[in-house]
């Protein structure tokens, strides 16, 4: 996990006072996190704010007032941590970076007004658009991508389409309001619309195809006019304006003029935090969603429904296996047992319960004792499931124990991911190192061991694993600052030599019994999908 400096140092307080520290902010699915680092990339203070999406009128969404309320609360929490640790109130930083959940749909008119509630990556309401665009572009275009949301709105003849002036992601929106610039980091941009690997800009041929597709009904809709400008890591991305400083810090203490790096998606910050931006490296992020990112040496032989093609923050090609459902169902079970603990007049808190349950999973039978679980709180396109129906199934002969129950809950997080990773294996994609990160890895050696069994390969977890996103964004801001100051190092070399050279990494190889057990579980998982797919008819 990200470890804050334990003993405040005088030089750190001086750096904060002089504005020589770097701030990274990430708007995740359940938490907005801020991380302050020094010039050596060490975390020195942190802030956080918990929030959650809402299901309103058939869409998963976050109101924009919740975005700013959450950001302000998170930033205030960071400032309070700085004051507590160093007796200094920060007013300026050397650089700032903002990241957020990738994909989704934030459409604005010419006056900057939001035209329809924010539609997040979690929605599975753009299947018709996804299918048609995939056919036209000759590559998989997932439902959660911004272009799928836009084209579905066209297909649905939604009135707001006529007034679209700007379309962006959550990170792009926040950056726009902070700096006034409509730009987006290449990694986040590649989850909106395909990026040309040569120019690192929007794929002009596919832009022309889309514009022609919608011209009969929406001749005014030109993608070049409404999409943000993609930027590579290190490129200039504007400075904090007076308005932006007030939005982040209503107290008026924060000064304008601070440079910002290109805003990125959470997938990009995860790659940075785990040093998996070079070819033949990969990482698996486990949070509300779960996804794997593998940096490719060569193109895939054919498009695959299970595989998205995106890029790193530096523009290198990546195969992405994205699943909508990650650790949320496991968290629901933790809440149940936390309540049981309280009802039994115990003092165990939720984090302790979570750790206890994860450790119990290691005592389960390798295949989960014949139990079967699905963690689908929302639809899961890779598995062919359109609506979320979490499910636990067993036969009279299954071994229902706490250990088996928890093991299959952990296994269920990896089930849909396995379907996509097996496609990459069939393509001969080489992976020298697979890193994992996310809060579930705070409990050392549990999710990591079972993930190794699920992918049949060693899994590495670094000390930045549990809170990597905001730290990874701060590192991107530090890289941006280094480039401004004259560095010519590529991002891959910067991470390897200046950031993570001495990082502590724990590597676990798959246990053969676990691998065999997970294989039996996955066989049940595949066969049981018919039950999951039919559940929406009943409930």
Rounded to an integer, the average pLDDT of 294-305 is 92
Kindly report, residue by residue over 236-290, the tens digit of the pLDDT: 999 999 999 999 999 999 999 999 999 999 999 999 988 899 999 999 999 889 9
- Round to whole Å and give the CA distance between 316 and 200: 9
Range from 2-11, 186-195, 355-364, 372-381 carrying the lowest mean pLDDT: 2-11
Rounded to an integer, the average pLDDT of 162-182 is 98
**Residue 418 corresponds to which tokens in the numbers above?**
């396995």
The rounded percent of the chain whose pLDDT value lies above 70 is 97
Which residues on neighbouring strands pair with residue 108, listed in sequence order? 114, 166
Rounded to an integer, the average pLDDT of 188-204 is 96
Q: At 536, is the pLDDT very low, low, confident or very high (cuts 50, 70, 90)?
A: confident
Closest CA to 241 of 177, 195, 307, 300: 177
- Round to whole Å and give the CA distance between 47 and 45: 7
User: CA-CA-CA-CA torsion for 270, 273, 276, 278, nearest 10 degrees?
Assistant: 110
- Round to whole Å and give the CA distance between 220 and 493: 44
Rounded to an integer, the average pLDDT of 107-124 is 96
Q: At 466, is the pLDDT very low, low, confident or very high (cuts 50, 70, 90)?
A: low
Rounded to an integer, the average pLDDT of 139-146 is 95
**Residue 514 corresponds to which tokens in the numbers above?**
């676990």
Q: At 35, is the pLDDT very low, low, confident or very high (cuts 50, 70, 90)?
A: very high
Rounded to an integer, the average pLDDT of 215-241 is 97
Residue 430 backbone phi and psi in degrees, to 5: -90, 135
Buried b (16+ CB within 10 A) or exposed e, 14-32: ebbeeebbbbbbbbbbebb
- Work out the burial of residue 78: count CB atoms within 10 Å of its CB; fewer than 13 is exposed, 13-18 middle, 19 or more buried: buried
- pLDDT of residue 30 exceeding 60, the answer is yes
- pLDDT of residue 527 exceeding 60, the answer is yes
Kindly report, residue by residue over 303-335, the tens digit of the pLDDT: 998 999 999 999 999 999 999 999 999 999 999
Rounded to an integer, the average pLDDT of 436-451 is 90
- Round to whole Å and give the CA distance between 307 and 303: 8
Which three-class secondary structure state does DSSP give residue 332?
Answer: helix
- Looking at residue 500, its pLDDT comes to 82
Q: What is the mean pLDDT of the chain?
A: 94
- Looking at residue 503, its pLDDT comes to 78
- pLDDT of residue 34 exceeding 60, the answer is yes
Which domains does the chain carry?
1-101+169-188+233-274 (3.30.420.40), 103-167+193-226 (3.30.420.40), 275-463+509-539 (3.30.420.40)
- pLDDT of residue 3 exceeding 90, the answer is no
Rounded to an integer, the average pLDDT of 394-417 is 97
Rounded to an integer, the average pLDDT of 14-24 is 97
- pLDDT of residue 502 exceeding 90, the answer is no
Radius of gyration over alpha carbons of the chain, in Å?
Answer: 23
Rounded to an integer, the average pLDDT of 186-207 is 96
- Looking at residue 1, its pLDDT comes to 37
């Amino acid at each position: 996990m990200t470890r804050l400096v334990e003993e405040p140092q005088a030089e750190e307080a001086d750096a904060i006072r002089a504005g020589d520290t770097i701030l990274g902010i990430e708007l995740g699915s359940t938490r907005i996190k801020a991380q302050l680092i020094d010039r050596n990339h060490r975390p020195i203070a942190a802030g956080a704010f918990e929030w959650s999406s809402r299901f309103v009128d058939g869409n998963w969404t976050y109101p924009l007032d919740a975005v700013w309320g959450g950001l302000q609360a998170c930033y205030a929490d960071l400032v309070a941590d700085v004051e507590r640790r160093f007796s200094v109130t920060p007013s300026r930083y050397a650089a700032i970076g903002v990241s957020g959940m990738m994909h989704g749909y934030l459409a604005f008119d010419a006056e900057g007004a939001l035209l329809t509630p924010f539609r997040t990556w979690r929605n599975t309401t753009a299947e018709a658009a996804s299918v048609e665009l995939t056919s036209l572009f000759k590559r998989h275009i997932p439902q959660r991508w911004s272009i799928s949301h836009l084209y579905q709105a066209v297909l649905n003849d939604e009135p707001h389409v006529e007034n679209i002036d700007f379309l962006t992601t959550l990170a792009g929106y926040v950056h726009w309001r902070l700096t006034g610039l409509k730009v987006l980091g290449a990694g986040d941009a590649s989850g909106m619309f395909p990026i040309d690997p040569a120019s690192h800009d929007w794929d002009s041929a596919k832009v022309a195809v889309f514009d022609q597709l919608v011209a009969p009904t929406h001749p005014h809709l030109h993608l070049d006019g409404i999409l943000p400008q993609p930027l590579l890591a290190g490129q200039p991305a504007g400075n904090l304006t007076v308005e932006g400083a007030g939005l982040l810090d209503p107290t008026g203490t924060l000064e304008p003029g601070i440079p910002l790096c290109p805003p990125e998606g959470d997938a990009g910050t995860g790659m940075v935090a785990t040093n998996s931006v070079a070819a033949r490296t990969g990482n698996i992020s486990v949070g509300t969603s779960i996804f794997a990112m593998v940096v490719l040496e060569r193109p895939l032989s054919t498009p695959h429904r299970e595989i998205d093609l995106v890029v790193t923050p530096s523009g290198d090609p990546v195969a992405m296996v994205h699943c909508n459902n990650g650790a949320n169902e496991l968290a629901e079970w933790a809440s149940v047992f936390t309540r049981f603990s309280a009802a039994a007049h115990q003092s165990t808190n939720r984090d302790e319960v979570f750790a206890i349950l994860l450790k119990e999973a290691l005592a389960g039978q390798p295949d989960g004792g014949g139990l079967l679980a699905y963690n689908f709180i929302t639809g899961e396109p890779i598995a062919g499931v359109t609506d979320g129906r979490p499910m636990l199934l067993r036969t009279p002969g299954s071994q229902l124990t706490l250990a088996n129950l928890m093991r299959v809950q952990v296994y269920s997080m990896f089930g849909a991911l396995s379907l996509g990773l097996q496609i990459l294996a069939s393509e001969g994609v080489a992976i020298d190192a697979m890193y994992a990160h996310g809060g579930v890895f705070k409990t050392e050696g549990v999710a990591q061991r079972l993930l190794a069994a699920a992918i049949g390969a060693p899994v590495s977890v670094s000390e930045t694993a549990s809170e990597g996103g905001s730290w990874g964004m701060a590192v991107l801001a530090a890289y941006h600052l280094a480039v401004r100051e004259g560095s010519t190092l590529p991002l891959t070399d910067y991470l390897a030599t200046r950031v993570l050279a001495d990082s502590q990494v724990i590597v676990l190889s798959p246990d053969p019994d676990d691998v065999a057990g997970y294989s039996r579980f996955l066989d049940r998982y595949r066969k049981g999908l018919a039950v999951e797919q039919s559940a929406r008819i009943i409930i």
